[in-house]
Structure 1
Amino acid sequence: MTINKAIEYAINSITLEFENYIYKFNELTGLAPKFFAERNWSAMHENQRRRLRIYKDFVRVCVLSLEENLKPHIESKEFWKEAKIQYSANISARKDKELAETFFNSVIRKAYPNLEINENVMFVHEGYDTCDLHPVDSLYHSYPSSWGLQKIIRKIIEDFDFGVPYLSKEEDIQYLVKAVREVILTRYEPTQDTITQVLKSVFYRNKAAYLIGRTRVGGKWMPFIIPFLNGPSGVYVDTMIFDPRIMAHMFSFSRSYFMVEVEIPSLMVSFLNAVISHKQVHELYNAIGFNKHGKTEFYRDFLIHLNESKDQFTIAEGILGMVMTVFTLPSYNIVFKLIKDHFEPPKNMTRQEVREKYKLVSLHDRVGRMADTHEFENFHFPLDRVDPRLVEEVRNTTNSLLVIKDNKMIIKHLYTERRMIPLNIYLEHCSHEDAKQAVEEYGNSILQLAQANIFPGDMMTKNFGVTRQKRVIFYDYDEIEFLTDMNFRWKPKAETYEQIYASSPWYDIAKNDVFPEDFKRFMIGRADVKEHFWEYHKDLFNPDHWVEMQNKIRSGEILHAFPYPIAIRFRPNEEI
């Protein structure tokens, strides 16, 4: 095959599989309204997992085709340089061209192993910032202030028909009217320029559907989110959210991605970027389900930050892990995690088993309590920006992943994750009141994970982090298991002298046996909040409570993890 024919074949193959991916992505996303209307929550979760898997499947099909037909060419930089030029021209009119660029990058990284990031053959700096501007009228519904508040709210409800009877539509309308009056109209006077915009696309996740909008009033945009739930008696508005901190948390790195129909990704992200404060572009792509492009945008952001900063990569604060070597750039809120070559006792797993745990988390509902990660291969760091002590630590712990070449430290495999303050360090320095809140959050995190069928395994405080909003998140996944695979037991009572004074447990302990009564020995070390924690989370130490959660999961009960405070619900006791 001539080089021109080979380039044409490569471009056609990549384009075809990208279009197949987008078609399947949209097909699965389009099922969310149906599952919401049917209250088919297990199908909703499985559909989410299916959508997360498909990207790699289509990349793999494409790479296999290229390897089979273009073997002499696919490890030639000149070949890919020309292919990029022609592919870029071919996708220039696409409304999702930034996603097409990322798909091209994914294919070349798999087809051309060990290729470093190369601007000539990959899309390194294009992406979101180079997307074409598109008319925004089709993105949202508009409601002028001249209609009056009652009519605006009624029209919003009318425009979003979930195909299910309402629990009480008129009551919902009045709840929303009251919320707007209390939050917006007590502070601002509407004018003829006041207008409300609501995205036409509904955001589905878990058991909820969300409308996202904004109102131009008082010379600025006031964003809002309206969650809908579908209970046994019908659909109802659960609350109306104006607090930007709550909205940011709803798009948090610890939450699963939304199922939302998106025609022009960059346009959707642009709107969200103006509404959801404190969220970067890559986080918003993640949130709407394009996590592979979110990974690309993250890397671009990292390169820009690297160019604009001068500090050095250093070992991350906290107790050194037995499974992971973790480092960070102090000026950047990300940690880099490497699986060690050898694990110290009592850890007895393999590197592949650890990778499987991280994969499990990526496909599971994170319920706001597990940090999202991105997985990278052959990640390059400028050696002059790496603290020599970190280089030595990497050599000592993950030498099989390390390559020093051309004044660069290359890590063959790593995960990136949002940096948080380790809970054990936070508790050493925070006030008494903050410590009480933190240990309450710590227990809440463990219990909410359990309700989502995740048992953290190693529940030491060093494996949890505290976010800027003082929320406690779990981030160490090497020992997680499904809750339903564990065997929670009361400790047998010693009855003989030999049993009472035995130097080791005198009763049999199987691999997955767990004794919650023992949790008190290690969970909280800070003396002034220990008793408070024991009392506030006394269920944690009761094996029967854990068994009860297991039974609920086995019976098919699925947790709805509210991403906002229960206290702001219009009907706090309504079933979902």
Structure 2
Amino acid sequence: MTLTQATEFTIDNIIKSYGNYIGKFNELTRLAPGFFAHRNWNAMQENHKKRLRIYKDFVKSSSLTLQENLGEKITDEEFWKGVKIQYSNSISERKDKELAETFFNSVIRKTFPNLAIDENLMYVHEGYNSCDIHPGENLFHTYLSAWGLQKIIRKIIADFDFGVPYMNKEEDIQYLVKAVREVILTRYEPTKDTVTQILKKVFFRNKAAYLIGRTKVGGKWMPFIIPFLNGPKGVFVDTMIFDPKIMAHMFSFSRSYFMVEVEIPSQMVSFLNAVISHKQIHELYNAIGFNKHGKTEFYRDFLNHLNQSKDEFIVAEGILGMVMTVFTLPSYNIVFKLIKDHFEPPKNMTRQEVREKYKLVSLHDRVGRMADTHEFENFHFPLERVDPKLIQELKNTTNSLLVINDNNLVIKHLYTERRMIPLNIYLENCSYEDAVQAVEEYGNSILQLAQANIFPGDMMTKNFGVTRQKRVIFYDYDEIEFLTDMNFRWKPKAETFEQIYASSPWYDIAKNDVFPEDFKRFMIGRTDVKQHFWDFHHLLFNPDYWIDIQNKIRSGELLHAFPYPKTIRFRPDEEI
């Protein structure tokens, strides 16, 4: 194969593979409205997992084909430079070219052995800001203030047909009219310039469908989200959300990705960036399902931050982990997690088993209670920015993952995750009022994970973090199990003198046996809120409660985790 032939073959292969990937991605995404209409929640979940898996499948297939046909050119840097130049020309007219660039990066990293990040061969600094932001006329519906509020709301409801009868359409309309009057019209007077825009594409996740829009009033845009649910009696509007903190949480790193049809990703992200406050570009790409490109955008953001900061990477605060070594850059809100070479007892798992746990989380519904991660290989850090104490800690615990040269610390494998305040540290320093909220959140986190069929395993407070919004999130995954695999038991009552004073349990305990009555011994150490926690979350210590959740999951019931307070629902008691 000549150089020209090899170049054309490589470009055709990657473009075709990317086209097949994005086609399959869109095909799976388009199934979401049907699952919502038919209340097929388990199929919705499985479809979400299937969509997450396909990226690696198409990258692997493309890479294997190239490895079988390119011979020595696989490691020829000049060859790949030429391929990148011509590939750029080939995708220049695509409206999703930033995703095509990321796909190219994935293929070359998979094909070229031990390739370091090289901007001559890969797309390192290109991306979102270099993409055309196409006009948005076809992106959203527009509603003019001259129509009047009643007509606008009725038109919105008419524009979004879920293919299912409404439970009570007229009541929904009046709920929305009342919400707009109470939140917007009490503060602003509409003018002839007042206009409302709502994205035409609906965002689906779990049992809900969401409309995302904004109203220009008072000289600024006011965003909102309208959740719809499909219950046994039909579709209904559940609430209308104006609070930017709640909206940001709905797009949180602790939530699963949305199913939403996207024709031009940069255009969608641009609209969301103007609506969902405090969200980074990479978080928004994640939110709409393009998590691999989100990873690319995160890395670009990381490089930009490195260039604009001077602090050193240090060991992260908190109790040192038995399975992971964790470090951070104080000026950056991310932690870097490495699996240790050896685990201290009682940990008896392998490194591969830990990686499988993280993979499980990446595919599972995180219900707002587990942190999303990005997995990296051969991640480079400037050696001059790494604290010597951190270097020593890494050598002591993860030496097999390190490559150190004159200028760089290269880590062969790591995870990145949003930095939070460890709950144990937070409880040591916060006020009584904040501690009460935190321990309530801690219990809520455990119970909501249980409803998503996740048992955290090690539930000590050091394995949970507190976000800026004071939500409690689980982030230590090495001992998680499916809840349905656990055996919840009441502790047998001691009846003899020997049983009462036995130094170790006198009854048999199998591997997956769990005794919720024992949770009280280790869950909360802060004395002034301990009793409140026990009272508020008394069900945590009742095996029958856990067994009831198991039975619901085994019967096929999907327990919906509301990403907003239930107190703001229009009909708080309405079942779905």
What is the TM-score when the length of structure 1 is the normalising length? 1.00
Task: Tell me the equivalent position of 1:142.
Answer: 142
Measure how far apart 1:40 and its partner are: 0.3
Task: Tell me the equivalent position of 2:155.
Answer: 155
CA distance in 2, matches of 1:562, 1:171: 22
CA distance in 2, matches of 1:257, 1:236: 22
CA distance in 1, matches of 2:482, 2:152: 46
Task: Tell me the equivalent position of 1:125.
Answer: 125
Matches within 5 A, 1:446-461: 446-461=446-461
Task: Tell me the equivalent position of 2:191.
Answer: 191
Deviations 1:550-576 (A, max 9, x none): 001001110111000000000111111
CA distance in 1, matches of 2:574, 2:507: 46
Task: Tell me the equivalent position of 2:51.
Answer: 51
Task: Tell me the equivalent position of 1:225.
Answer: 225
Measure how far apart 1:499 and its partner are: 1.2
CA distance in 2, matches of 1:575, 1:278: 32
The answer to whether 1:538 aligns with 2:561 is no
Q: State whether residues 443 and 540 of structure 2, in contact with CA within 8 Å, keep that contact through their aligned partners in structure 1.
A: yes
Task: Tell me the equivalent position of 1:264.
Answer: 264
Aligned residue identity for 1:255:
R
Measure how far apart 1:333 and its partner are: 0.1
Deviations 1:293-350 (A, max 9, x none): 0000000000000000000000000000000000000000000000000000000000
The answer to whether 1:214 aligns with 2:234 is no
Aligned residue identity for 1:384:
E
Task: Tell me the equivalent position of 1:7.
Answer: 7
Deviations 1:420-447 (A, max 9, x none): 0000000000000100100000000000
CA distance in 1, matches of 2:74, 2:161: 50
Aligned residue identity for 1:79:
F
CA distance in 2, matches of 1:48, 1:425: 35
Aligned residue identity for 2:316:
A
CA distance in 1, matches of 2:128, 2:537: 45
CA distance in 2, matches of 1:24, 1:258: 16
Aligned residue identity for 1:87:
Y
Aligned residue identity for 1:401:
L
Deviations 1:20-79 (A, max 9, x none): 000000000000000000000000000000000000000000000000001211111111
CA distance in 2, matches of 1:79, 1:499: 75
CA distance in 2, matches of 1:150, 1:130: 41
SS of 1:519 mapped into structure 2: helix
CA distance in 1, matches of 2:302, 2:272: 21
CA distance in 1, matches of 2:71, 2:313: 38
Deviations 1:235-273 (A, max 9, x none): 000000000000000000000000000000000000000
SS of 1:74 mapped into structure 2: helix
Task: Tell me the equivalent position of 1:325.
Answer: 325
Matches within 5 A, 1:405-554: 405-554=405-554
Measure how far apart 1:377 and its partner are: 0.2
CA distance in 1, matches of 2:66, 2:337: 32
SS of 1:391 mapped into structure 2: helix
Task: Tell me the equivalent position of 2:301.
Answer: 301
Task: Tell me the equivalent position of 1:237.
Answer: 237
SS of 2:27 mapped into structure 1: helix
CA distance in 1, matches of 2:566, 2:71: 58
Measure how far apart 1:7 and its partner are: 1.0
Measure how far apart 1:495 and its partner are: 1.3
Q: Which consecutive unaligned segments of at least 5 residues does structure 2 have? A: none
Aligned residue identity for 2:153:
I
CA RMSD of aligned residues (A): 0.5
Task: Tell me the equivalent position of 2:88.
Answer: 88
Deviations 1:197-240 (A, max 9, x none): 00000000000000000000000000000000000000000000
Measure how far apart 1:368 and its partner are: 0.2
CA distance in 2, matches of 1:216, 1:501: 71
CA distance in 2, matches of 1:194, 1:208: 29
The answer to whether 1:111 aligns with 2:111 is yes
Measure how far apart 1:114 and its partner are: 1.6
The answer to whether 1:276 aligns with 2:276 is yes
CA distance in 2, matches of 1:491, 1:169: 51
CA distance in 2, matches of 1:201, 1:143: 16
Aligned residue identity for 1:57:
D
Task: Tell me the equivalent position of 1:403.
Answer: 403
Deviations 1:125-176 (A, max 9, x none): 1110110131210000001111111111000000000000000111100100
Measure how far apart 1:504 and its partner are: 1.0
Task: Tell me the equivalent position of 1:334.
Answer: 334
Q: Which consecutive unaligned segments of at least 5 residues does structure 1 have? A: none
Measure how far apart 1:494 and its partner are: 1.2
CA distance in 1, matches of 2:549, 2:560: 14
SS of 2:73 mapped into structure 1: coil
Measure how far apart 1:502 and its partner are: 1.2
CA distance in 2, matches of 1:18, 1:145: 43
Measure how far apart 1:115 and its partner are: 1.2
Measure how far apart 1:113 and its partner are: 2.3
What is the TM-score when the length of structure 2 is the normalising length? 1.00
Aligned residue identity for 2:373:
T
CA distance in 2, matches of 1:213, 1:547: 41
Q: State whether residues 133 and 270 of structure 2, in contact with CA within 8 Å, keep that contact through their aligned partners in structure 1.
A: no
Aligned residue identity for 2:248:
A
CA distance in 1, matches of 2:307, 2:354: 33
Task: Tell me the equivalent position of 2:366.
Answer: 366
Matches within 5 A, 1:22-33: 22-33=22-33
CA distance in 2, matches of 1:286, 1:71: 35
Task: Tell me the equivalent position of 2:573.
Answer: 573
Q: State whether residues 225 and 247 of structure 2, in contact with CA within 8 Å, keep that contact through their aligned partners in structure 1.
A: yes
Which has the larger displacement, 106-115 or 249-258?
A: 106-115
CA distance in 2, matches of 1:144, 1:546: 51
Aligned residue identity for 1:320:
L
Aligned structure 1 segments of 4 or more residues deviating by more than 4 angstroms: none
The count of aligned residue pairs is 576
SS of 1:493 mapped into structure 2: coil
CA distance in 1, matches of 2:503, 2:71: 63
CA distance in 2, matches of 1:23, 1:291: 16
SS of 1:377 mapped into structure 2: strand
Task: Tell me the equivalent position of 2:247.
Answer: 247
